[in-house]
Chain A
Amino acid sequence: MPLKHDIEFTLNGVSTRATVPVDMSTLTMMREVLGLTGTKYGCGEGECGACTIVVDGVSVNSCLMFAVDCDGRQVATIEGLAADPRADALREAFVAHGAVQCGFCTPGMMMQASHLLATHPGADEETIKRGIEGNLCRCTGYRKIVDAIASVADKAPPAAPGQGEPS
């Protein structure tokens, strides 16, 4: 059996401990060790964005990050975003603009969008399209996702998950 490692990190604002094999991805840890299934497996090689999470303020394909590398970091997943009232506007925009069909890409898309708006408040359409370039969607043709993000882009920036609480 592979070597296991104890790690401690902040997950969606809560101090979390886990014992994980050294070769386990953060995606697998979230889904199978911590029971957080909102983060999706789409390809396992960083090409589709369905597993997007935010680590220390940077959006990451969690399939490409070793779980042990979460040690000591601030990690945010869709479950954290869903529980954060500051992200309500973004979620409501996704719903109201029809940005959700099968919904499988949606958690990753929401994470990427919230990260984009945190780092690029007031982002224009071109910036939004570039910002979600790494997130594949097979249902919507992206138009309504872009519209949803744009509709909240010039409002107060939503939650910046994983960047810690504003001081």
Chain B
Amino acid sequence: MNVAEKKALIERDSLIGKRIAKMDAPEKASGKTRYVHDIDLPGQLYGKILRSSRVHALIKRIDTSKARALPGVHVVITAADVPDQRPIGVAKDHLPLKTDRVRSQRDEIAAVAAVSEEIAERALRLIEVEYEDLPVVSDAQAAIEPGATLIHPEPHGVEHHHLSLKKAGAPVAFVGKTDNIAMRFDYAHGDVAQGEAESDVVIEDTFRLHYVTHCCMGVSGILAEFDASGNLLMYSNTQVPFLHKREFAEYLNMDPARIRIIQPPIGGGFGSKLDIYPFEVICVFLARAARRPVKMVFSREEEFLASPTRQPVLLTLRSGCTKDGTLTFRQVHTLHDNGAYTSWGATTPFVMMQTFSSLYRVPHCDYHTVAVYTNNPYAGSFRGYGNLQATFAVEAHMDKLAEAIGMDPLEFRLKNAQEPGEVTGQGMTFKSCGFRDCLTTAATRSDYRRKHRENAARQKDPDPVKRGIGMASMLHVGGGAKIYPSDGCGTILKLDDFAHVTLITGASEIGQGSETVLAQLVCEELGLPISAVTVVNNDTDITPWDVGVHASRTTFIAGNSAIGAARKARAKILAAAAKKFDCADGELELRGGHVIRADSGEALTDLARLIRSLHFSDRAELVMTTYYYEPPSQHQDKGFKGDVSAAYAWATQVVEVEVDTQTGIVKMTRVTGAHDVGRVLNRLGIEGQIEGGVVMGQGYALTENLMVENGVVRNPNFRDYKLVTAPEIPEMDVSFIESMDGEGPQGAKGVGEAPAICIAAATANAIYNATGVRIYDLPFTPERVYRALAGRAEKPVLKPWQPA
């Protein structure tokens, strides 16, 4: 160590809150990133799936002989070739390859593995299938009527002679159902009858929320290979690798320890990859049968037809308040169109009921959902997870109730907004809560009060283009969600001889920037620049367990885990340095890649030099640590009560629109958002999450609509399914409320889903402010808006339903 270095002073520096470029961005911007679509293995075959040409039918005959005879075809499989296949999915009601009947347009009948995609496709066309059509059930309300055609009338799954394959706890067959009810959710706190009796104003409306789908720019894909010992390797786009490992083992009747999942960079997730889908299991079946690697990649049309959707919902909300603006009760009935099979969409009530029970203070709340089988596409999880739908209804009623009692809508919200320290009827405890700041910040920055008043006064002006402003707010989990036995994440951290950190995390990266935030948090503890960290996060043989990337949990859960591992490494380093420099640990700090004196900032040694001295000594000590973080949250009880997240995120978004009353065209001009994110960790990354979420919400509100008629998707392409494009985006003003959550990593809370949630609800309020017309169903397409302005809108109706 030279003298100059010894006397160098190093100032305290922090990466927290800075604009840190995403670590993998240079590779991605150079076209060098290898997605699953870009990976080929020697000897690889190409898998393709034959899907149903009917929506609901019995399969009378399948003839694959011509396909099998086609040169270049290695394997053709149908359900008959995989007698051990088991039902998959959330309710275990879905066989990957269909046996005796098809229940939706996407249904898988046969699959081919061939030497090229072209030959595989030609082979599909040679497969003959004979059907006997059944009545199509495409309306959820009709599906629930007594006597409706049943979607799952009979058991399906492993037959009796295969029962010996059954492992404990693994369902081998779906038992069948005598009605079309897939799932029910019933929640209550307080007494809504009492709440209604205490109300001065009571309103009730039915809302209809439509089908949209994720539209990840990278289509679905998988590459599966068995090694010579029968171990399975999958290159998968999954968002939940460790859960999938266990589930695949069940479906394949394998030891989970023999399954390895590698997650190449993924072309968009947004919740679409939380469930296992038939194509993944089928691809593994093909690889098993062919004894060759098999790659399966969707076409865009297939992506539209066979990917999950956001949950479509019919929802009736009854709400009340007193004249002084105090909410009294909420009563909710929803009908979820489950589609033909059950995925996560059916379980969105977990999140929806939180918004009804706990976004505002509601003394009495009653919530009921029935999810009903139809022959429609089935819904999965999608960023926001039911909260867009619930918020759409709640925030319409916040405006309507305020108007009914003659109160300013912002004032009405502030009067009922949750505050820090409150425990809701559902048992959620708001330790940090910046809701009021969100409301006032978004309102002030958008000049909400003045514009709202002036726009309403101008509704009758001659100008055909009306201006409107509307607000909506949201509550969402921000500290994980304890749904599985563990909501935790593991970290392994090592420093090499050059003080370069390898952060091995269970957390999955899906483009949201988790790797960069996790690296920042480690750098903060170890006083290193971001370039000193490599993140390894994509291989179940290497990374420690994590429940997966969902519920806006990764920054919070994996962040705390990374901090835990880094603090252990820091303690080891400082203890060694203290010994070397004959002082107490507390007198030293890590800054700028050096060990320094905490009081003066004087650099004592280069960190790499210190670590080498630990490594190359008689009693070698490598700096390696592990940490597992489990958040202090609770599982909900059977009544859905409990403090399910370690922290909760809040936001208010104000949307401004121009409505052309002559054409029905709604232009979103400006979105002002205020988000309680706990603390900003990476300003660049969090802005990107918010802006992307806003525009996704804009699509949900205005342009996106997966049109399903009699079970058939009518617009499986980007020409007819309209994503928002660059010229249409609104001006965006984003503020962050830093409530510094006590449990959050450096005070941060989750934000991934939040920005998409309020946009449609705020847009509905803005259109009302502009025109005096309220529209109860989405999306706000020109036709729908024009009809509504002309007084010809059909208001959605949800027939009351009681269980038999």
Give chain A's interface residues, CB within 8 Å of chain B: 31, 37-45, 47-48, 50, 77-79, 81-82, 91, 94-107, 110, 126, 128-130, 132-146
Contacts and interface: CB of A to CB of B under 8 A. Distances in A.
Contacts of A79: 31
Interface string B685-720: 101100111111000000000000000000001110
Interface string B8-31: 000000000001011011111111
Contacts of B32: 38, 82
A40 B26 CA distance: 17
Contacts of B300: 42-45, 48
B476 to A, nearest CB: 19
B688 A140 contact: yes
Looking at A38, A137, A141, the one whose CB has the most chain B CB atoms below 10 A away is A141
25 contacts: A40-B35, A47-B718, A48-B718, A81-B30, A82-B32, A91-B30, A95-B22, A95-B25, A95-B29, A102-B217, A102-B218, A102-B511, A103-B24, A110-B31, A129-B729, A133-B725, A136-B718, A138-B215, A138-B217, A139-B511, A140-B688, A141-B688, A141-B732, A144-B687, A146-B726
B687 A41 contact: no
Nearest to A47: B718
B30 A82 contact: yes
B566 to A, nearest CB: 24
Interface in B499-545: 510-513
A47 B29 contact: no
Interface string B451-464: 00000000000000
A163 B725 CA distance: 27
Nearest to A145: B726
B318 to A, nearest CB: 35
Given A98-B685, A101-B512, A141 B696 contact: yes
B217 A48 contact: yes
B692 A77 contact: no
B723 interface: yes
A98 B688 contact: yes
B147 interface: no
Interface stretch (B84-92, B154-162, B260-268, B568-576): B260-268
A131 to B, nearest CB: 8
A143 B673 CA distance: 15
Contacts of B28: 100, 103, 106-107
Contact of B696 (A106, A126, A138): A138
A100 B512 CA distance: 10
Interface size class of B (residues with CB under 8 A): 35 or more
A144 B688 contact: yes
A82 B31 contact: yes
Given A91-B30, A104-B268, A146-B726, A140 B691 contact: yes
Nearest to B720: A47
B723 A136 contact: yes
B21 A137 contact: no
A38 B30 contact: yes
B25 A102 contact: no
A130 B729 CA distance: 11
A105 to B, nearest CB: 5
A139 to B, nearest CB: 5
Interface string B192-232: 00000000000000000000001111110000000000000
Contacts of B513: 101
A26 B133 CA distance: 41
Contacts of B732: 141, 143
A129 B726 CA distance: 5
Given A95-B25, A133-B726, A136-B725, A47 B719 contact: yes
A143 B691 contact: yes
Looking at A135, A142, A143, the one whose CB has the most chain B CB atoms below 10 A away is A143
Given A45-B719, A47-B717, A143-B732, A102 B688 contact: no
Looking at A44, A104, A130, A142, the one whose CB has the most chain B CB atoms below 10 A away is A104
B662 interface: no
Given A50-B217, A97-B684, 18 more contacts: A38-B30, A43-B300, A48-B217, A78-B30, A82-B30, A94-B25, A95-B25, A95-B29, A98-B19, A98-B22, A100-B22, A102-B216, A107-B29, A126-B727, A141-B693, A141-B732, A143-B695, A146-B726
Looking at A44, A47, A102, the one whose CB has the most chain B CB atoms below 10 A away is A102
A93 B216 CA distance: 24
B729 A143 contact: yes
